[in-house]
Chain A
Amino acid sequence: MSAGRKLWRMPIVLGAASAFGLAAGLLGDGVWDWIAAASLALPLAVAWRHVRKAA
């Protein structure tokens, strides 16, 4: 894997999850609200795991 791909892979995945979550809540109700919250929470969960690992 190239250095650039390795560097940006995770930020792009988490950015896409955030964007999907922001839109999903707007476009749907009910189960979509939960999907929206979960996708937006994913970046925080990933960050939290890394912070815990380092502590």
Chain B
Amino acid sequence: MSPANLRRWSWIHKWSSLVCTAFMLLLCLTGLPLIYHEELAELTGAEVEAPVLPAALASHPPRADLDQVIAVGKARYPGKVMMFMSQEPEDPDMWFLTMGDHIDDPHFVSIGIDARTAKFVGEPPIEGGGVLQFLYHLHVDLFAGQWGKLFLGAMGLLLLVAIVSGVVLYAPFMRKLEFGTVRHGRTGRLKWLDLHNLLGIVTLVWALVVGATGVMNTLADVLLQVWQSTEVAAMVKSHAGLAPLDPKAPMASMEQSVANARAAEPGMQVAFIAFPGTGFASPHHYGVYMRGDRPLTARLVKPVLVDARTSQVADQRTLPWYLTVLLLSQPLHFGDYGGAALKLVWALLDVATIVVLGSGLYLWIRRGRSAQPKAAPLRAPAPARAGSAEGSR
């Protein structure tokens, strides 16, 4: 690499890292407990679970009528409207209703209802409640809503630039060294430079994927708006003259709507249902999202639009590529798709990334100090370069 190129890439690596490092440290530190949010919620009693049925019922568990499930939620919150209802794949005995004061109320409530008996079970705290909720907001939007999300997305893009420029710089640094060399100089700087390079290069692919999927997740609302204004708008052309459905008005039977959606996608189960007016539905339709039973098809839900006036299936489409990418970005960012072992590796990789970030910051703070006269024939402004000079003495 020519000296001019080396300087250029060093500059890119230095500034892309410096701008995002503080935020990335925050994201790594808050992300660590969030990997275990389910376990922590369970520990603090925040998890809402279906009760054990009496023996007589347990052998042939009943299935509650969906309109009755919704009615229980509405009886609890007469002033609120239905936004979503969903079911976890591992817990088909529960329905979780999301209700708000209006159709995109950010201060929604979640209501757990027994899917067999339509009895109220409990209200799980939003985003885990308490400390978990605090960490969640620090991680997702810095308590600044959509703009906070997009800001963190921009910081994530800088992280990707820092990773790529770091890989470019790996070659000139390691050309004369065996892979994994950790040297001990007179100062700690040489050791930390080698650790930075070693941990940076081994976590490369994971960090790129978690960084890129994190950026993708910050764009969720934007992508849903794109989908609304293109495909959903085309799907509801036949309703052009109609006023949007009033979320408080009575709508077509959910039991019938889901039965029709199931008939349209045989063999698939309901993952969640979006009510008219939400980002996942149209102003006139329920968005019924069906999942398959294979690991991948369980993630890639298929939307069935059901007319919320007539219960008739209006349209079935596969999701556009950008929403497919968004759906796959969630597990690939959270690390929650491979059981306890994967979570543990996720946590360790997160810790390794903290070391990469911290050592990078340390190398910048201690920049220049290693540039002793005998070791630095090529003085360069970037921290990386000073280390390079020491490394090749």
Given A37-B344, A40-B342, A50-B180, answer yes or no on A22-B206 (Cβ-Cβ < 8 Å). yes
Instruction: Decide: A11 and B201 in contact? CB cutoff 8 A.
Output: yes
Which chain A residues (1-45) contact chain B, with CB distance < 8 Å? 3, 7-11, 14-15, 18-19, 22, 25-29, 32-34, 36-38, 40-41, 43-44
Q: What CA separation (Å) do A33 and B342 show in the bound complex?
A: 7
Q: 30 A-B contacts, Cβ less than 8 Å apart?
A: A14-B204, A14-B205, A19-B205, A22-B332, A25-B338, A25-B342, A26-B295, A26-B332, A27-B295, A29-B295, A32-B338, A33-B339, A34-B339, A34-B341, A37-B345, A40-B342, A40-B349, A41-B345, A43-B202, A44-B203, A44-B348, A46-B202, A47-B198, A49-B180, A50-B179, A51-B195, A53-B182, A54-B181, A54-B194, A55-B182
- Interface check B377, CB cutoff 8 A: no
Query: What size tier do the contact residues of chain A reach?
Result: 20 to 34
Bound: A11/B170 CA distance, A: 10
Residues of B within 8 A of A36 (CB): 338, 342
Contact B180 A10 (CB under 8 A): yes
Q: Say yes or no for B352: interface residue by CB 8 A criterion.
A: yes
A7/B296 contact (C-beta < 8 A), A15-B204, A25-B338 known: no
Q: Do A47 and B180 touch (CB < 8 A)?
A: yes
B299 cross-chain contacts in A, Cβ below 8 A: 26
Q: Is the CB of B198 within 8 A of A51?
A: yes
**Nearest chain B CB to A13's CB is how many angstroms away?**
10
Is B72 close to A, CB under 8 A? no
Could you tell me the distance between the alpha carbons of A51 and B263 in the complex, rounded to whole angstroms?
Answer: 58
Tell me how far the C-beta of A31 lies from the nearest C-beta in chain B, rounded to whole angstroms.
Answer: 11
Shortest distance between the CB of B316 and any CB in chain A (Å):
24
Give Cα distance in the complex from A9 to B342, angstroms: 25
Please tell me if B171 contacts chain A, counting CB pairs below 8 Å. yes
Total count of chain B residues near the partner, CB < 8 A: 39
State in angstroms the CA–CA spacing of A3 and B172 once bound together: 11
Residues 105-131 of chain B: 1 if any A CB is under 8 Å from the residue's CB, otherwise 0? Answer: 000000000000000000000000000
In chain B, residues 150-180, which have Cβ atoms closer than 8 Å to a Cβ of chain A?
A: 170-171, 174-175, 179-180
CB pair B342–A37 under 8 Å, yes or no, is: yes
Q: How many contacting A-B pairs (Cβ < 8 A)?
A: 102
Bound-state CA distance A53–B198 (Å) is 13
Q: Which B residues, 319 to 348, have Cβ-Cβ distances below 8 Å to chain A? A: 328, 331-332, 337-339, 341-342, 344-346, 348
* Complex CA–CA separation, A53 to B332 (angstroms): 32
Q: Which residue of A lies closest to B179 (CB)?
A: A10
B76 located at the interface, meaning its Cβ lies under 8 Å from any Cβ of chain A in the complex? no
Cβ–Cβ contact B175 & A7, under 8 A: yes
A9-B179, A10-B179 given; 7 more Cβ-contact pairs under 8 Å: A14-B204, A22-B332, A26-B296, A26-B337, A37-B342, A50-B181, A54-B191
Assess whether A51 is in contact with B345, with CB atoms less than 8 Å apart: no
With a CB–CB cut-off of 8 A, which chain A residues contact B50? none
* B207: nearest chain-A partner, CB-CB: A18
In the bound complex, do residue B205 and residue A28 qualify as a contact, i.e. CB atoms below 8 Å apart? no
A11-B170, A15-B204, A22-B332 known; A40-B209 Cβ under 8 A: no
Interface residue from A18, A29, A46, A55 paired with B205 (Cβ < 8 Å): A18
Across the A-B interface, the 10 shortest Cβ-Cβ residue pairs: A50-B180, A54-B182, A25-B338, A37-B341, A18-B205, A43-B202, A33-B338, A10-B179, A15-B205, A47-B202
How close is B329's CB to chain A, nearest CB, in angstroms?
11
B63 CB-CB contact with A under 8 Å = no
